Amino acid sequence: MSNEIILNINKREVVNKGQRKRLRKEGKIPGIYYSHNSRESIPFYIEINELIRAQKSEARIFDINVGSKKRSVLFKSVQYHPVTDEIIHIDLYGIKMDQTVTVNVNLELTGTAKGVTEGGIVVQTLNELEIECLPMDIPKVIQLDVSELEIGQNLKVENIILDEKITAISDAGQIVVSVTQAMKEEELAPQVEEDELLEGEEGDAESTEEDEDSDQSKEEPSSTDDNKNKDSEG
């Protein structure tokens, strides 16, 4: 069965850091292709526009031509620059369509939790689920309905309903999403009032010190004037 997207990649020689940097300046992203059994690795580069096209397609499986062979691949990893968030390197993993693979798939919450209408908030602690399945059975996203969740309740990996062709690899007991009680404003009010009071007291103290300094500064010149007057009289 043919895949949706053909990636046009170019084989390259192993290069140093400076040469990889030059490739990126030319709009080319360096990468490594790994065979399904990890016995073969081939360095390559791909045009950034070609990579963006592949990402926008939302496809999971791609065809590439390496040498004279056509191969099916998955994106194994995409590395981003920590500051600019630009793609700086990719790894492609060769697959066989009749062999299972392990991949991470995004989790998407659906519905409005009952607890939200009671003032609770939804907290998602797991955004991706690690699964194992055949390449053609990889879902684009896994949905999880949270409609029945009340305050204090949660859903774990073991609660996710998956197609029988898919096996969850993530820890079954790991919490995916929970509904917690939001802190009420009235609970914060006393503390806020106390803080404001303390700030007010400190502010009054500072004002008093400033007033005292101001009074002293006013008194000192008058004392000097008196001395001058006495000298002139003498």
Instruction: Tell me the mean pLDDT per 10 residues along the chain, length 234.
Output: 72 73 87 84 90 86 80 89 90 93 94 93 96 94 96 96 96 97 63 48 41 42 45 46
Q: What is the pLDDT of residue 131?
A: 96
Q: What is the pLDDT of residue 102?
A: 92
Q: What is the pLDDT of residue 165?
A: 96
Q: Rounded distance, CA 22 to CA 45, Å?
A: 12
Q: Rounded distance, CA 90 to CA 106, Å?
A: 19
30: three-class secondary structure by DSSP: strand
Residue 73 in contact with residue 138, Cβ under 8 Å?
Answer: no
Q: What is the pLDDT of residue 41?
A: 87
Q: What is the pLDDT of residue 213?
A: 43
Q: What is the pLDDT of residue 1?
A: 41
113-119 CB contacts, 8 Å cutoff, 24+ apart: 113/146, 113/147, 113/148, 113/149, 113/150, 113/179, 114/147, 114/148, 114/149, 114/150, 115/149, 115/150, 115/151, 115/152, 115/153, 115/179, 116/179, 118/150, 118/151, 119/151, 119/181, 119/182, 119/184
Residue 49 in contact with residue 8, Cβ under 8 Å?
Answer: no
Q: What is the pLDDT of residue 15?
A: 63
> What pTM, to 2 d.p., does this model score?
0.66
